[in-house]
Amino acid sequence: MALTDAQANAEILHGTVPATVILAGTVTRGDALGYSSGWKRALATTGSVIQARCVAAEDGVATQRIKVYFGDCILGGTRFSACVAGAAVYAAEGTGNLNGQYTETIPSTTGDAKTQIGESLDTTTILVFPYRNTQVVAT
């Protein structure tokens, strides 16, 4: 089995580095978010890659300001099932309906975002560390 993401009913068990952002689209609590002409749901698909940078702490719609977590975030609840403890977690690839979702399957198309953004902790809980996508340049 592999992680199944229902994209609803996420429970945020722990979150670090809270901030607020203004949305450029509709999001659901627990979604992986990135920035592309505004804050919106992440997607690994080539041609429309939106790298995961934070996790939505609440539901929201375009132009709304919501709380997000840029640091480690532990997500559970009934959003996830069939996770494999210790498996790497990635932003999902595919069409727009998968935006913001998580998968344990590494994106396979050339040009997809293949950065690991988390790890499954048990069958229903994942740890997301989106800040690892951010490159820090020494000055």
The 3-state secondary structure of 31-69 reads CEEEECCCEEECECCCCCCECCCEEECCCECCCCEEEEE
> Is there a domain that residue 115 lies in?
yes
> Is there a domain that residue 14 lies in?
yes
> Is there a domain that residue 126 lies in?
yes
> Is there a domain that residue 139 lies in?
no
> Is there a domain that residue 26 lies in?
yes
Convert the pLDDT of each residue in 75-110 to its tens digit.
999 999 999 999 999 888 866 666 889 999 887 777
> Is there a domain that residue 22 lies in?
yes
Give residue 128's domain range: 4-132
When divided into structural domains, the chain yields a total of: 1
> Is there a domain that residue 32 lies in?
yes
Convert the pLDDT of each residue in 116-136 to its tens digit.
999 999 999 999 998 775 544
